[in-house]
Amino acid sequence: MDNARGEIYLIRRLLSQDLEVARVTRQTPSGARSPAAKWRKVNNVHGFTFHAAYLSKQAAARRKRDDLLYTASYRWRNLILFKCFASWKDIWTTKFRTMAKPSRRLNALYPGNTGLRNLGNTCYMNAALQSLSHVTLLKNAVMSASTVGPPGALLWELKHVMQRLWSGKYAALSPDAILAVVWQTFPTLAGFKQQDCDELLRHLLDSMRSGAASVVDPPLARCFVDALFEGVVVRTITCNRCMHESSTNEMFLGVLSVDIPTPHRVHAGRRRRVATAHCSMIDCLATTFAAESLQRDAQYFCSNCDAKQDAVKLTQLGAAPPVIIFHVNRTGWTADGEPDKIPTHVAFPERGLDLSMIMAAPPRTSTVYDLDAAIVHEGRTLTQGHYTAYANNALGGAGWFHFNDHRVHKCTWKDVASAQAYLLVYSQRQTNSQPRPHGSQCCEASVRATHGAMDSG
């Protein structure tokens, strides 16, 4: 077996550091209160004092040592397993022939397959970051950007996280810095309470747009966030009497909510949504963009008739962005009027989601989209549970992986398709090219751009 002295040395050094930290922080010769006890006292304080202590330099340094120790152990374990399997295969095929040492060492880690530690109900942020980092268009734009704002800005921290996730050097990372920026930028998300991943993604895209727009040169140029995520929803109301049409355009950035087609039933005097067993993404799009009849109390005031009239409201997609994040609206209501989670399984395609059925006019670009990532919420209610992410690693044709905080596992498309999706990240397929690389295919340009960005970073 290869003697990986680097990994052994790293493990010993980190263990000795941890023992030294434990001795210093928990024992004092004078018997005075130790720093560890002081930190536990701060730990009981509710509010930003606790957040500051948790994200202090000392706490971040301890978690960084844990990351290095976990990475070294992960690499050492994988190398041993590889040698064991290689030896078994060699014995089986050559009947106890002496095995020669391999010409090169196998990489135990792979770019893009780095986990993110859960720092306390932060699974929603981990799932969002993993999904965004596996959108090839966004990853290349962020990592190749020469200016992403000052250190400590959200876009700067996002680039730093992506560089480390795709460096192939870590089995897991502690996202302390970007968590601190998220808490500072969005005070409603501060603390260790479970948050909505959809809400975080919307906040992140808005903040990324502001950060990218502030450093774009020239100032009037369109930033890459708008170029990738900005779309238009067209709402048209047609008067049934005079057929006069009135249209409004609404811009959206990245996230587009779709409804699950659920029948309505009346129970105990209340009208509620009842979940069906399963449906498809096409069913959700058809439900969301279906024509709506405006009658009775919902009549439309027609400016041409100068009176309220029955009308038809039609919602369509005016412009489809290169990257769309579909938010599957799983909010339902119980018979008592309490919010509930709709458990319907929504079938979604890996490739070839065609949005032409909801377009307002023949588009100039492709309406076919391929899946980059899927965020899953596990739990009976939307306010409690656990977020994980499935993402396609197109670098080298690695395929699909399941990201459960710091744990990363190889999976199949069947595993992804059977998941209860909450957020689906799709990227537009180029009109004059083959389908984007999935599974066994790989885009050489994306690989070159990614490695070039990592080398420059």
Q: Which amino acid is at 430?
A: Q
Q: Which amino acid is at 70?
A: Y
DSSP character at residue 298: G
Output the 3-class SS for 417-457.
HCCCEEEEEEEECCCCCCCCCCCCCCCHHHHHHHHHHHHHC
Instruction: Say which residue the tokens 């986990």 belong to.
Output: 115
Of 281, 243, 274, the closest CA to residue 259 belongs to 281
3-class secondary-structure state, position 347: strand
- Regions of the chain short of the pLDDT cut 70: 1-57, 72, 74-79, 81-108, 215-221, 263-277, 431-457
- For residue range 405-455, list pLDDT tens digits in order: 999 999 999 999 999 999 999 999 976 544 544 433 333 333 334 334 434
Bridge partners, 403 (sequence order): 389, 408
Instruction: Say which residue the tokens 């006069």 belong to.
Output: 244
DSSP per residue over 98-116, as a string? PPPPPSSPPPS--TT--EE
pLDDT at residue 384, rounded to an integer: 85
pLDDT at residue 439, rounded to an integer: 39
pLDDT at residue 414, rounded to an integer: 95
DSSP character at residue 359: B
245 is written with which tokens?
Answer: 């049409």
pLDDT at residue 394, rounded to an integer: 86
Q: Would you say 396 and 448 are in contact if contact means Cβ atoms under 8 Å apart?
A: no
Nearest 5°: the CA angle 219, 128, 448 is 65
Percent of the residues in the chain that have a pLDDT greater than 70, as a whole number: 68
Q: Would you say 329 and 341 are in contact if contact means Cβ atoms under 8 Å apart?
A: no
Determine whether 53 is exposed, middle or buried from the number of CB atoms within 10 Å of its CB (0-12, 13-18, 19+): middle
Q: Would you say 329 and 144 are in contact if contact means Cβ atoms under 8 Å apart?
A: no
State which fold the 224-456 domain adopts.
Cathepsin B; Chain A (3.90.70)
| pTM of the predicted model as reported, rounded to 2 decimal places | 0.74
Rounded Cα distance, 390 and 412, in Å? 10
Rounded Cα distance, 4 and 75, in Å? 9
- For residue range 64-122, list pLDDT tens digits in order: 777 777 776 766 666 676 666 666 555 555 544 444 444 444 455 789 999 999 998 99
Instruction: Say which residue the tokens 């990257």 belong to.
Output: 323
Of 183, 425, 220, the closest CA to residue 323 belongs to 425
Residue ranges of the alpha helices (H) in 4-135? 5-26, 35-43, 48-54, 57-94, 123-133
Indicate the domain borders of the chain: 1-108, 224-456
